[in-house]
Structure formats: C-alpha cells, structure tokens
Amino acid sequence: MLRIQNPPKYVCIECSNKGRHNIKINKVLCSICNKLDKYLLISKTRAKELYLLKDNMLSSLIPIHANSSYGEATYYTKQDLINLACNIHETIDDNLENVIQEKIKINKNIKDEKNKIKNQKKIERNKIKAKKK
C-alpha cells in the first residue's frame, strides 16, 4: 500500500521548507530564514545604542509591539534599522559600522572634554572656598 505523506502544516515563506509561525511578525519561517536581517527583531533601546538613533528618527519606521517579561516592548527589523541608519549617517551598508564607531569615538572625546572642564571648574570653586576660610 502506497502511503501519501502529508505536507508540513507550516511552510516557510522564503524557502518553502518546514517552518514555524513567528507570532511577533505573523509569518511562517524556518529556523534559517528566521535569522535573516529582514526578520531579525531588535528592541528600540538596543537599536538606539547600536545605530546611534533617537526616538524621533525611529518614528518613520513601523514598530512591532510585543509583550516581554518586563512589559510591552517595541521592536524593529534589523534591515529597516540598517537602512535608516545608512540614510541618517549618510553611508552605505558596508561602511555603516565604521561610521558608527567613528561617531562613538567623537562622542566619547566630547564627553571626556566636558568632564575635564567640569572637573577644572570644581577645582577652581574648591580653591576659592579654601581662600575664603
């Protein structure tokens, strides 16, 4: 007797392999395709850290809201974030990480300079207080 195999219940929309339903993005994906940049989700906080973005910059993207163990969270797809960051930082995808690292160094240098000035002012105030005594 010839057995007819039942087709898998869920089929990946990318590669037609057996997949699972991803509830957050409401698509059926296999484990390999689920790791593609266009389906990989990054939290809003992490996106702001990784790509040096601000809330007003993220407003143009379509957010994915989901409940996490800490409450409701906002996610964005990695591909959308990369495209946005490339537009904002005026670079291409291949050079994005270098540009972001350079901006992080510049921001760190600015922060260090501000701290130096703040410390110098504190020292001067302490000297003035000491002279008054």
Which of 68, 88, 108 is at the close of a domain? 88
3-state helix, strand, coil split of the chain in percent (to 5) is 50, 15, 35
Q: Which residues of the chain have pLDDT under 70?
A: 1-8, 93, 133
- Pair 17, 47 in one domain: no
- Pair 79, 67 in one domain: yes
Name every residue whose Cβ is closer than 8 Å to that of residue 80 and which is 6 or more positions away in sequence: 61, 62
Confidence at residue 2, expressed as pLDDT on a 0 to 100 scale: 58
- Pair 82, 44 in one domain: yes
Considering the domain boundaries, does residue 83 fall inside one?
Answer: yes
Confidence at residue 118, expressed as pLDDT on a 0 to 100 scale: 86
Full residue range of the structural domain in which residue 28 is found: 6-36
Instruction: Give the residue carrying structure tokens 């300079």.
Output: 113
Tokens at residue 45, please?
């906080």
Considering the domain boundaries, does residue 11 fall inside one?
Answer: yes
- Pair 50, 61 in one domain: yes
> Taking the model in full, what pTM does it have?
0.64
Confidence at residue 4, expressed as pLDDT on a 0 to 100 scale: 59
| Tally of domains in the chain | 3
Helix residue spans in 52-95 (DSSP H): 55-58, 78-88
- The packing angle between helices 44-51 and 78-88, to 10°, is 40
